[in-house]
Chain A
Amino acid sequence: MISLRPLPPTEAFFLSGLYSMAIEQDDIEKIAELARIRIDQGQIGQVTQRITEILRMVDQLQAVDTSEVQPMANPLDATQILRPDEVTESNRREAFQAIAPAVEDGLYLVPKVID
Chain B
Amino acid sequence: MHDRTVAQLMAGLRDKSFSSAELTRCFLDRIGALDEQLNSFISVDEEAALAAATAADARLAASDAGALTGIPIAHKDIFCTDGMRTSCGSRMLDNFIPPYDATLIKRFNAEGAVTLGKTNMDEFAMGSSNESSYYGPVRNPWDTNLVPGGSSGGSAAAVAALLAPAATGTDTGGSIRQPAAFCGITGLKPTYGRVSRLGMVAFASSLDQAGPMAHSAQDCALLLNAMAGHDPLDSTSSPEPTEDYTAQLARQIDGLRIGLPKEYFGEGLDNATAGQIDAALKELEALGATLVEVSLPNSHLTIPTYYVIAPAEASTNLSRFDGVRYGHRCADPVDLHDLYTRTREEGFGDEVKRRILVGTYALSAGYYDAYYKKAQQVRRLIKQDFMHCFEQVDIIAGPTTPGPAFALGAKSDDPVSMYLEDVYTLAVNLAGLPGMSVPAGFVDDKPVGLQLIGRHFDESRLLNVAHQYQQATDWHLRRPASIAGGAA
Whether A and B touch (Cβ < 8 Å) is answered with yes
Contact residues of A with B, CB < 8 Å? Answer: 5-9, 11, 14, 23, 27-28, 31-32, 34-40, 47, 50-51, 53-55, 57-62, 64, 66, 69-76, 78, 80-81, 83, 92, 95-96, 98-102, 108, 110-114
A64 and B301 within 8 A (CB)? yes
**CB of B43, distance to nearest CB on chain A (Å):** 15
Given contacts A54-B307, A55-B361, A99-B95, 6 further A-B contacts (CB under 8 A): A31-B360, A76-B192, A95-B99, A100-B325, A101-B327, A110-B339
**CB of B461, distance to nearest CB on chain A (Å):** 18
Q: Which of B98, B335, B364 contacts A111 (CB 8 A)?
A: B335
Give the interface size bracket for B toward A: 35 or more
Given contacts A54-B415, A76-B456, A78-B236, contact A60 B376 (CB under 8 A): no
**CB of A84, distance to nearest CB on chain B (Å):** 10
A81 and B239 within 8 A (CB)? yes
Q: Which of B319, B335, B356, B366 contacts A8 (CB 8 A)?
A: B366
Chain B 326-343 interface 0/1 with A at a Cβ cutoff of 8 Å (1 = within): 110100011111111110
Q: Which A residues are CB-close (under 8 A) to B354?
A: 47, 50-51, 54
A-B pairs with beta carbons under 8 A, tally: 187
B357 and A31 within 8 A (CB)? yes
- Residues of A contacting B: mostly: loop
A99 and B377 within 8 A (CB)? no
Closest 3 CB pairs of A and B: A75-B432, A71-B376, A66-B377
A81 and B232 within 8 A (CB)? yes
B368 and A5 within 8 A (CB)? yes
Q: Is B379 an interface residue (CB 8 A)?
A: yes
- Bound form: Cα–Cα A60–B304 in Å: 7
A58 and B235 within 8 A (CB)? no
Residue of B nearest to A101 (CB): B329
Q: 27 interchain pairs (CB within 8 A)? A: A6-B366, A8-B370, A31-B360, A31-B364, A38-B344, A40-B345, A47-B353, A51-B357, A53-B416, A54-B358, A58-B358, A61-B374, A64-B378, A64-B381, A69-B380, A69-B381, A71-B373, A73-B206, A73-B376, A75-B383, A75-B432, A96-B99, A96-B326, A100-B326, A101-B326, A110-B324, A110-B336
Q: Which of B367, B380, B432 contacts A76 (CB 8 A)?
A: B432
- Bound form: Cα–Cα A107–B339 in Å: 17
Given contacts A74-B206, A76-B193, contact A55 B358 (CB under 8 A): yes
Residue of B nearest to A74 (CB): B206
- Bound form: Cα–Cα A76–B245 in Å: 21
Residue of A nearest to B328 (CB): A101
Given contacts A61-B308, A66-B374, A66-B378, contact A98 B99 (CB under 8 A): yes
B324 and A101 within 8 A (CB)? yes
Residue of B nearest to A114 (CB): B336
Q: Which A residues are CB-close (under 8 A) to B239?
A: 81
Q: Which of B192, B232, B356, B380 contacts A35 (CB 8 A)?
A: B356
A54 and B416 within 8 A (CB)? yes
Given contacts A69-B377, A75-B192, A78-B238, contact A83 B301 (CB under 8 A): no
Q: Is B365 an interface residue (CB 8 A)?
A: yes
Q: Is B430 an interface residue (CB 8 A)?
A: yes
Q: Which A residues are CB-close (under 8 A) to B345?
A: 37-40
- Bound form: Cα–Cα A73–B322 in Å: 26
Given contacts A57-B303, A57-B307, contact A99 B99 (CB under 8 A): yes
> Which residues of B, 56-94, contact A by the 8 Å Cβ criterion?
none
Residue of B nearest to A35 (CB): B360
**CB of B228, distance to nearest CB on chain A (Å):** 15
**CB of B352, distance to nearest CB on chain A (Å):** 9
- Bound form: Cα–Cα A83–B232 in Å: 8
A32 and B366 within 8 A (CB)? no
Residue of A nearest to B82 (CB): A95
**CB of A30, distance to nearest CB on chain B (Å):** 8
Given contacts A31-B361, A38-B344, contact A14 B373 (CB under 8 A): no
**CB of B364, distance to nearest CB on chain A (Å):** 7
Q: Which B residues are CB-close (under 8 A) to A9?
A: 366, 370
A70 and B357 within 8 A (CB)? no
Q: Is B315 an interface residue (CB 8 A)?
A: yes
- Bound form: Cα–Cα A47–B383 in Å: 33
- Bound form: Cα–Cα A95–B303 in Å: 42
